[in-house]
């Protein structure tokens, strides 16, 4: 615990990262139109990392009562409270109102980590998916593995398939699973490097639940691109992302069994990559229907800020000072 405190103190006093103005200018034009006045407050959070907050997801496979107690003493509280439709007691995540990052634990072969640092909003897709013991689950775009770890805090799937197409990210995913999941359970997890667009054909109607945490224009990281050429290229390629996201969703629907549920998520504010993609799927796939998740947003309104005016099967978390979670878009569908 003393080491924990020392490491936390080391993270204080860090220098503000430099903003990439090519990306910021692009976002200004788009989000002023899509978000209106709301964009100003969101931009103030996104461009000022020193006000960002980090959540601590406890690992039930390596429990530490001492750490949990000390987090409470330091002013942390559970991120998820209230009348949520789905909240397993085994999913424990702590947050605090003040900004700052806790130290990440280093990977040590043969030793499980006690907690995972993440943006608290990234757990909302996991809560929306509502995985139950014995269900067959696919995490289609699983790296770096935080949502896979969170899913396993909630339930014990029958089969759990974690897929990541990118070679480097796939190695990262494997290390995350090795760091958090014990051997007996790890042996039940399949990790693959398949093209997510093809999984629907390869694994037709094989899963009860599918998570599509899609590749997207990550607003937080893109704003701090250090290479101007790379940033410019990203912005050009941004237009193609919605096509990829649509193809991944169509593949995920094929992989679902009738009656199964799918959750789609991104960490961007972009309408083209969020509601537009879901609307296109709903109009082009007659075998899926939207599932209402607005109750989840109501239950979490004390801890998260949501964009108003979204449809009942979707939500968008907006970063706000003191509640600097997101961006995180979540939508839920069911296969008929």
Query: Which residue in this structure is represented by tokens 């007691």?
Result: 89
* Annotated binding-site positions for S-adenosyl-L-methionine: 141-147, 164, 195, 213
Instruction: Measure the CA–CA gap between 22 and 5, rounded to whole angstroms.
Output: 38
- The sign one gets for the Cα dihedral 25, 26, 31, 36 is positive
Choose, from 76, 93, 216, 267, the residue flagged as catalytic.
267
Sequence-distant (6+) residues with CB within 8 A of 216 are 241, 245, 266, 267, 268, 270, 273
CA angle, 330 then 34 then 268, to 5°:
35
Q: From its phi and psi, is residue 100 left (phi > 0), alpha (psi between -120 and 50) or beta?
A: left
Q: Hey, is 133 helix, strand or coil?
A: coil
* Annotated binding-site positions: 141-147, 164, 195, 213
Residue 164 has φ and ψ, to the nearest 5°, of -150, 115
Q: Is 93 a catalytic residue?
A: no
Q: Hey, is 44 helix, strand or coil?
A: helix
- Are residues 287 and 17 in contact, defined by beta-carbon separation less than 8 angstroms? no
Query: Which residue in this structure is represented by tokens 């909630």?
Result: 154
Residue 133 neighbours by CB distance under 10 Å? 10
Q: Hey, is 71 helix, strand or coil?
A: helix
Instruction: Measure the CA–CA gap between 74 and 62, rounded to whole angstroms.
Output: 21
Residue 286 neighbours by CB distance under 10 Å? 8
Instruction: Measure the CA–CA gap between 70 and 22, rounded to whole angstroms.
Output: 42
Helix (H) / strand (E) containing 311? none
Instruction: Measure the CA–CA gap between 298 and 216, rounded to whole angstroms.
Output: 26
Instruction: Measure the CA–CA gap between 171 and 186, rounded to whole angstroms.
Output: 15
Catalytic positions are: 267
């Amino acid at each position: 615990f003393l080491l924990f405190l020392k490491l936390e103190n080391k993270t204080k006093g860090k220098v503000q990262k430099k903003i990439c103005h090519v990306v910021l200018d692009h976002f200004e034009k788009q989000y002023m139109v899509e978000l209106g006045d709301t964009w100003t407050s969101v931009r103030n959070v996104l461009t000022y990392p020193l006000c960002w907050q980090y959540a601590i997801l406890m690992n039930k496979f390596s429990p530490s009562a001492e750490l949990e107690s000390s987090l409470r003493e330091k002013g942390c509280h559970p991120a998820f409270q209230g009348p949520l439709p789905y909240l397993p007691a085994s999913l424990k995540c702590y947050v605090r109102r003040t900004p700052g990052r806790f130290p990440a634990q280093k990977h040590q072969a043969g030793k499980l980590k006690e907690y995972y640092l993440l943006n608290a909003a990234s757990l909302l897709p996991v809560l929306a998916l509502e995985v139950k013991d014995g269900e067959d689950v696919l995490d289609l775009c699983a790296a770096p593995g935080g949502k896979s770890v969170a899913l396993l805090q909630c339930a014990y799937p029958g089969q759990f398939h974690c897929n990541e197409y990118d070679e480097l990210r796939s190695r990262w995913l494997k290390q995350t699973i090795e760091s958090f999941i014990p051997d007996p359970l790890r042996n039940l997890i399949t990790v693959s490097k398949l093209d997510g667009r093809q999984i629907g054909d390869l694994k037709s109607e094989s899963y009860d639940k599918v998570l599509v945490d899609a590749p997207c224009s990550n607003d937080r990281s893109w704003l701090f691109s250090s290479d101007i050429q790379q940033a410019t290229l990203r912005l050009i390629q941004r237009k193609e992302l919605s096509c990829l996201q649509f193809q991944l969703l169509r593949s995920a629907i094929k992989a679902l069994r009738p009656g199964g549920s799918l959750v789609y998520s991104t960490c961007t504010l972009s309408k083209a990559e969020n509601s537009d993609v879901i609307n296109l799927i709903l109009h082009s796939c007659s075998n899926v229907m939207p599932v209402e998740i607005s109750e989840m947003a109501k239950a979490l309104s004390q801890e998260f800020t949501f964009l108003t005016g979204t449809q009942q099967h979707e939500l968008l978390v907006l970063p706000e000072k003191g509640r600097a979670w997101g961006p995180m878009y979540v939508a839920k569908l069911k296969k008929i």
